Amino acid sequence: GDSVTQMEGPVTLSEEAFLTINCTYTATGYPSLFWYVQYPGEGLQLLLKATKADDKGSNKGFEATYRKETTSFHLEKGSVQVSDSAVYFCALSAIGNEKLTFGTGTRLTIIP
Amino acid sequence: DAGITQSPRHKVTETGTPVTLRCHQTENHRYMYWYRQDPGHGLRLIHYSYGVKDTDKGEVSDGYSVSRSKTEDFLLTLESATSSQTSVYFCATKGLATDNEQFFGPGTRLTVL
C-alpha cells in the first residue's frame, strides 16, 4: 500500500540556518505530494504541494521538488526563522484515491 | 480557510462513557474526514464521508462510528470510550479539486480517564 517515510525528529536549528526535512514515498502511479505544517495548538495547514514529476512547490520561502526517480519530496528552506518552529508533515494522495497518507511528522525548533 | 469548526475543543471523560465530537463546515465540501493524531504515528484516518449518508472506514476505525445527515456536519462517536482513545482528533474536508488538498479544523483534545 501507499506509505510516506519522513525524517525522524526532533530537529533543532539556529536562526538563519539551512533546513532540509527528508520525505520519501511508496505509491503506484504518480501521486500528488503535499507538505502540511502544524503550529502549536492549531490544526494542519497546507504549506505547499506538487502534482506531477519535476514540479516544484513553494510557499513562505519553503520549497520541495517532486522527484519521481528517487520517489522523494524533500522540504528545504534557505534561512529559517523562529516563527518556522512547528511540526511538518509530508503526505501523498494516490490517483483515484480520495484519502491522504501522512508521514509521522517532524518537529522543528528554531532557536534565536 | 475552509470554515471548519470542531466542538468541543477539549473534553475529559471517563472510561465507558459515550462521546460525540462534531465537525461543521461552511464550504459545501463533498468529502469529510476524521483523523486522530498521536505521537509517533502522525495522522491516522478513522472514518471518512463522500456524501450525505455515505461513509467508509479508515485504517483505525475500531471503536468509532460516524454519521453525516447533512453536508455541513460530520459526527464522530465513541460508543464506549477507552483510555487508548485519548488523542487529538482532527476533522478535514475536501472539495472536488483533483489534487486532493484537504483543509483541517482546529482539533479536539480528548482525554479518557
DSSP state letters, A41-95:
TS-EEEEEEE-STT-EEEETTEEEE-BTTTTB--EEESS--GGG-EEEEEEEE-T
Residues of A in contact with B2 (CB under 8 A): none
Question: The dihedral of CA A94, A25, A34, A53: what is its sign?
Answer: negative
Q: Residue A37 in contact with residue A45, Cβ under 8 Å?
A: yes
Cell representation of residue A75: 522540504
Distance from CA of A38 to the nearest CA of B (A): 10
Q: Strand, helix or coil at B79?
A: coil
Matching residue, cell 504518480: A30
Distance from CA of B78 to the nearest CA of A (A): 21
Q: Strand, helix or coil at B75?
A: strand
Distance from CA of A4 to the nearest CA of B (A): 10
Cell representation of residue A97: 484515491
Residues of B in contact with A32 (CB under 8 A): 99-100
- Beta-bridge mates of residue B11: B110
Q: What percent of chain B shows pLDDT beyond 70?
A: 97
Chains A, B: CB contacts under 8 A, how many?
51
Nearest CA in chain B to A51: B99
pLDDT in tens, A15-42: 999 999 999 999 988 899 999 999 998 8
Residues of A in contact with B97 (CB under 8 A): none
**Per-residue pLDDT for B68 more than 80?**
yes
pLDDT in tens, A54-104: 999 999 999 999 999 999 999 999 999 999 999 999 999 987 778 899 999
Amino acid at B96: L
pLDDT in tens, B87-107: 999 999 998 776 778 999 999
Kindly determine whether residue A89 and residue B45, on different chains, have CB atoms separated by under 8 Å.
Answer: no
Q: Residue B63 in contact with residue B87, Cβ under 8 Å?
A: no
How many angstroms separate the first and last alpha carbons of chain A?
41
